[in-house]
Amino acid sequence: MDALANDNQPLDIVPVYSLNEEQENKEIVRHYRALLRSLKTKVKKGDKELLRTAFEMAVEAHKTMRRKSGEPYIFHPLAVAMICVDEIGLGIRSTICALLHDTVEDTDITLDDLKSEFGNEIAKIVDGLTKISTVMSANSSQQAENFKKILLTLTDDPRVILIKLADRLHNMRTMDSMKHEKQLKIASETIWVYAPLAHRMGLYNIKTELEDLSMKYLEPDKYREIARKLSETKRERTKYINEFIRPLKEKLSHTGLNIEIFGRPKSIHSIWNKIKKKGVSFEEVYDLFAIRVILDVPLEKEKEECWKVYSMITDEYMPSPERLRDWLSNPKSNGYEALHTTVMGPQGKWVEVQIRTKRMNEIAEKGLAAHFKYKEGTQNEDRFDKWFIQIREALGNQEEEGIDFLQDFKTSFLAEEIYVYTPKGEVKMLPINSSALDFAFYIHTAIGSKCIGAKVNHKLVPISHKLRSGDQIEIITSNKQKPSEDWLNSVVTAKAKNSIKDALREEKKAIAEEGKYTLQRKLEGLGAAYSPYNIDQLVNYYKLSSHLDLHYNIATKIIDLKELKLFQVIGDKIEAPKPIIAPAEVYVPSNDTAKTYSKKESELIIFGESSDRIQYALGKCCNPIPGDDVFGFVSTGKGLIIHRTNCPNATQLLANYGHRVVKTKWAKNKEISFLTGLSIIGLDDVGVVNKITNIISGELKINIAALTIESKDGLFQGTIKVYVHDKDELEVLVDRISTLNGIQKVTRFDTETV
């Protein structure tokens, strides 16, 4: 049984029946032995037998199962275990959990089986990794509820989330065999929750790969375009990096320090974010790469030597003062330490330089696992622990819906951080965009509830004032103050939101009692019972989320119940009238006039999996047109809404409400035109408007719905709303306008309502 001592020892593999049974079994053994070799330095007495038992149990449990690609399922747990060991730096216990992570959910193995074989610790982690398979209500999300359960375990044992991230990474790497709509849902969940979580746990490499893989499925055209351009410019980039590094190597070689210096390309996703955020082209993104300087120095000399290297780099190249990031003095709460600066390099290009030690680099790459390895009285020793305590507090609010919790978790715990000071000079870490009110609740719930204002750097500010790193805050309170609904717009932290909601809920319950009494009287007047069934009918009719909201809205006269006469009373039950869904607006040119299609005619556009023509509406947030990659979303009370897959709201909808997504595609119909919009920027020239309209109406015979042009300081900015048949026609229009002299940029509206 000594698998580590003898790599050639035969293994008791249960045969996997397939055309290539022998080759598959050999491949399984090869993967297992590679895993053993990676673990060699971490193995203690008794570990080998446990690993072998876990492996054989996993092979036996999954023996008849295959992945969508056709390969034996056991390859997945083996790959997840390898990611845990090689890319996260976890040990034997985590490897066993990774091998068994799907057994309880997908096979006959129970938690009790694991407990008797491996003990409570491993059974508990596998339980945390086991997905929830309950039927979900319309107002919640399986993903959100599952995530909440995982986080409950995370606060006891962080390995749960680390193995979960490894599981997600391998699924993302091997998603090509899945259906397109499944790819969209999983990629959206990944970018929405798992990539920020990997970032927060300090796993920067995994975070970057998750973002890139998500983009590959969510925005395949942009992904391929940036990947191609990165490949084409690689030689030129390498040449520039070498030119930048040469004088630095020369300078640093005289210090006697053991220093490694190299350039690394930025991820495709981060380049795409820059392009979108700054409104520039690929060619205009200056920081396509970063220079990394890694020092091998003792712990006690780290800070001193990093600043020394910074000084030598800025002697050679002029730094940008506002781009210095000092995470040596104030490490991030995920343990990340480094000095970042941006300097002016050769040929007038800005270059980002990151300075770290070997220890800091390992923490940056392996996050939490490496952080605990080096946890020897360092000043950031308990930062993860504090983070877990805050999560535990947030999880204490059991009344919050899964979706709301997930949103709050993202803004509170997965965001970048700022550090601020109390009046006594204590440092507090808060998520970016935190307000003075967030700070007040962070100090204590009672202080937050009574907060009327604050002094930031000794100046009086309102409670909604956004804080910045380095601010010193003093909170001003009053016993007459109490939380109000609009406070929720001024806070981002889960603690502040939960405390405000708790206070409002108590007040709301008292007011709602009056509404409950009014509703009871009205229902009895109709001959209907005041029953949970009837209250549910009214909650759904008024599109509310709870009985409490209904009672409260009746008490505060927001609802006056006059619509009750529209309800049918059968026995002691009421039945709500059916909602009317308005047809989608589409446009058909006829004798140069526009007309809107009737409901019957508008059913010609999109059909689902059954190929039936169905009623739909177009998402106002992204205005899809034929040819766009789209999905259907079943919205409460509004029927099927069509969104582009790169719509600003798509990620959240697909991640949180995957069960409401319908596969849709365009039917071919050249009779119908769709409203869309273009933004144009160029040099202000005589006749420019005339040239643009000639192309649209004259050359391409496209109908214009609206046109606005504003001119300032020799530049003009215009927006044009046009009716096009499909994406191809829109792209021809964009290309034609782009060829006009002086036109700098033509882009389609992404988020504006056209």
Residue 718: beta bridge partners?
A: 680, 709
The DSSP output letter for 695 is I
For residue 139, give both structure tokens. 């107002």
User: CA distances (Å), 246 to each of 308, 313, 317, 549, in order?
Assistant: 18, 12, 12, 67
The burial class, CB within 10 Å (0-12 / 13-18 / 19+), for 571 is: exposed
Q: Is residue 219 annotated as a catalytic residue, yes or no?
A: no
* Residue 667 CA, distance from chain mean position: 32
Q: What is the largest CA-CA distance in the chain?
A: 94
Extract long-range pairs of 410-413: CB within 8 Å, 24+ residues apart: 410/192, 410/193, 410/196, 411/492, 411/493, 411/494, 412/492, 412/493, 412/494, 412/495, 412/497, 413/200, 413/387, 413/494
Helix (H) and strand (E) counts in the chain: 28, 24
- Of 105, 382, 524, 728, the active-site residue reads 105
Secondary structure of 350-394 in the HEC alphabet?
A: EEEEEEEEHHHHHHHHHHHHHHHHCCCCCCCCCHHHHHHHHHHHH
Q: Is residue 106 annotated as a catalytic residue, yes or no?
A: yes
- Residue carrying the six token digits 């009370």: 637
Q: Tell me how far apart the alpha carbons of residues 438 and 456 are, in angstroms, rounded to a whole number.
A: 13
Local structure of 227: helix, strand or coil:
helix
Whether the CB-CB separation of 615 and 581 falls below 8 Å is answered with: yes
Q: In what order do the strands lie in the sheet with 350-357?
A: 258-265, 289-296, 350-357, 339-344, 325-326
- Residue carrying the six token digits 């001024």: 490
Q: For the chain, how are helix, strand and coil distributed in percent, rounded to 5?
A: 50, 20, 35
- Of 47, 56, 86, 106, the active-site residue reads 106
User: CA distances (Å), 12 to each of 51, 529, 689, in order?
Assistant: 13, 66, 77
Q: Which amino acid is at 430?
A: L
Q: Tell me how far apart the alpha carbons of residues 626 and 325 are, in angstroms, rounded to a whole number.
A: 46
Whether the CB-CB separation of 689 and 695 falls below 8 Å is answered with: no
Of 75, 78, 129, nearest to 101 by C-alpha is 129
Of 121, 142, 77, 64, nearest to 103 by C-alpha is 77
Catalytic residues: 105-106
